[in-house]
Structure 1
């Protein structure tokens, strides 16, 4: 006897039996050209570039094209045409920055990261859906490969070195990495981020309290101090706040790789490569060192003077996208004031901020992150690790967006300014 009294079991007629699915509409070359607003010859140029698929007509009189695919290409072409000539601009629905605030998919990013753990923030960026209780786990075979690769590095290797190697090992261990469908990319991302964390050599005791949050597992890779719950929450907040921030250099590198249809591991590797530059990823390390100097010398004035005398920027201050204080810094400082152990580093940061206020510069997130790393006994490079692990979520989100765009659109033309040919051979 069936448990389905409504008669909807396997023997019940399905909607597809009563109403057979109609084949997707197809367009002729001329019709596709009209939708795209181009000549018929240009339609075949799109096909040769991989921007449009075609099917040979059974009669042999021409080709036909999927109407939905043609319309999607037309929408992309209209978006690109709306960008002023010569302007480097990438349309994205992920992060908006305006009026000294920033938003993830229209939601205030500070509020989102303050109320939800990093994994939930990542899922929101990727899918636009909140997933309460989301947790990421590394597959054992992938994690084992990443750990072996990281262990083979010289001891003086930095955190970005370890993360790059871990990404490469994880990619090789994933035979499905070339599947660029949304479901496959999301599956890879949910495995890659915990692999990056768990492949790093532990500094402190691993989590034993059943807390599966990524922040808890990352903590033992950053410091040997015991994980105070309030400090863990600050680390989790930092991870959520840093998950994305418009088109930073590393994010643009990711989108270029994704435009060439590189798999998500390779796209993340491109981001890590850009992050290792001293103008992008090293700011947290520099701010950590500055706070250490201020505490050792008993004041900010002589330390700031040395930076300015050497013609160097004071790390942790100013941001080209904010006129006032960086909202990420404001949120982190608010939580750090609740940590008793953070008082000395906070005092040093306020001392430097008082000096820099004369120049109209406000603290940015690098200074707040440095207060966290100094207060919790972390190494100077810990800020880089936090930044890279966190930003991986944003990189994956941008790769997912770019996979839906025209391939190889991130291909600017060079403006040659060398000697005009012909020249004699040297």
Structure 2
């Protein structure tokens, strides 16, 4: 290893690639996709338009967006053998493991799986964005012993997902809130899952292998599993009157409060600020503000204690209750993260492979000095 090489645990602070996709200012709490602030996308865009933005690094025209939507609709149906194999797997298999297996199976039925040309990658991106949603909805129903629901071509990407999952066509509010959730989670620069996908893609392996690597990383509780832990904590607290003391006891034991703090943001996560508003809106619509009130108390208690250290709510804190109010069980929160993030994963893969360089970092050796082999009878 070169004497000038810098060592950084977990590659923190290391610039491993250049990207024109996502801009983050963690000190000021700024997040933008291709130069457009996340607040504006959440207010005016749709997930389908945002996915196009990430894949093409520009906003679509009306006709381009219509064509993109039609292509997503075209790919919604998953081949029967894939669903049959997923259905045959043990019911207790974690949803993320089922999803990873299902994506791997898709690769077996793609005769051009190894084609990583730009055109092929864009087509596979549309297919994976569409079928990640179909597979996640199918997994949600299978784990509850429910019949699978075929996609409805008349619905948007987000509305169709909720329909395939719940069996009920969502109202306008539910469809819009879920669409915003997908927008907010569509990309976030270079977290572990995105990096894992690029490490695999840089070898020129097939894109299904790269996405399986991303899913494997996202499955880890330090990356994608936090939102599930947040909603479980809120449900465990149960009543607003118990929230402050519950959190204070955890803080006194120096236990981590899930949904707070971020490796990048040292202020309020802009995605959490948006989701907080929608969580409140859904609570009011459901005439059940209990969980939202618990969240508000948790937020105030943690910020009072740790805000000076840069610990604030992140995207996981409010995404759990948003999904809960939409009737989505906690076990599906991380797969739903993948339903959104597949757009970012594929956008990064397409961007990186346009000027590919194999990832090959080095390690700093800390083992014993150079010596000699000792015969076994002399040890």
TM-score by length of 2: 0.83
Rounded to whole Å, the distance in 1 between the matches of 2:56 and 2:44 is: 18
Q: Say whether 1:416 aligns with 2:352.
A: no
Q: Which has the higher helix share?
A: 2
Task: State the Cα distance separating 1:312 from its structure 2 match.
Answer: 2.4
Task: State the Cα distance separating 1:267 from its structure 2 match.
Answer: 0.9
Task: State the Cα distance separating 1:206 from its structure 2 match.
Answer: 4.5
SS in structure 1 opposite 2:31? strand
Q: Say whether 1:285 aligns with 2:228.
A: yes
Structure 2 unaligned residues grouped into runs of 5+: 8-13
SS in structure 1 opposite 2:330? coil
Aligned to 1:21: none
Task: Please list, as runs of the form range in 1=range in 2, the aligned pairs for 1:332-347 lying within 5 A after superposition.
Answer: 332-339=275-282, 340-341=285-286, 343-347=289-293
Task: State the Cα distance separating 1:113 from its structure 2 match.
Answer: 3.4
The 3 A distance-change label for structure 1 pair 110 and 297 is closer
Q: Deviations over 1:271-318 (max 9, x none)?
A: 001111111111011001111122247421232144335542111112
The 3 A distance-change label for structure 1 pair 309 and 178 is same
Aligned CA-pair RMSD? 2.5
Match among 105, 122, 134 for residue 198 of structure 1: 134
Match among 83, 104, 127 for residue 56 of structure 2: 127
Q: Quick check: 351-360 or 314-323, which moved more?
A: 314-323
Rounded to whole Å, the distance in 2 between the matches of 1:346 and 1:248 is: 28
TM-score by length of 1: 0.74
Q: Deviations over 1:140-185 (max 9, x none)?
A: 8853233122212111122211211111111111111211111111
Task: State the Cα distance separating 1:139 from its structure 2 match.
Answer: 4.2
Residues 95, 331 of structure 2: 8 Å contact kept: yes
Counting matched residue pairs gives: 343
Aligned to 1:94: 21
Aligned to 2:155: 212
The 3 A distance-change label for structure 1 pair 396 and 425 is farther
Q: Which has the higher contact order (CA 8 A, sep 6+)?
A: 2
Task: State the Cα distance separating 1:189 from its structure 2 match.
Answer: 1.3
Structure 1 unaligned residues grouped into runs of 5+: 1-82
Rounded to whole Å, the distance in 2 between the matches of 1:394 and 1:175 is: 24
Match among 349, 353, 373 for residue 399 of structure 1: 349
Task: Please list, as runs of the form range in 1=range in 2, the aligned pairs for 1:189-268 lying within 5 A after superposition.
Answer: 189-199=125-135, 200-201=138-139, 203=141, 206=149, 211-220=154-163, 222-223=165-166, 227-268=170-211
Aligned to 2:262: 319
Q: Say whether 1:160 aligns with 2:160.
A: no
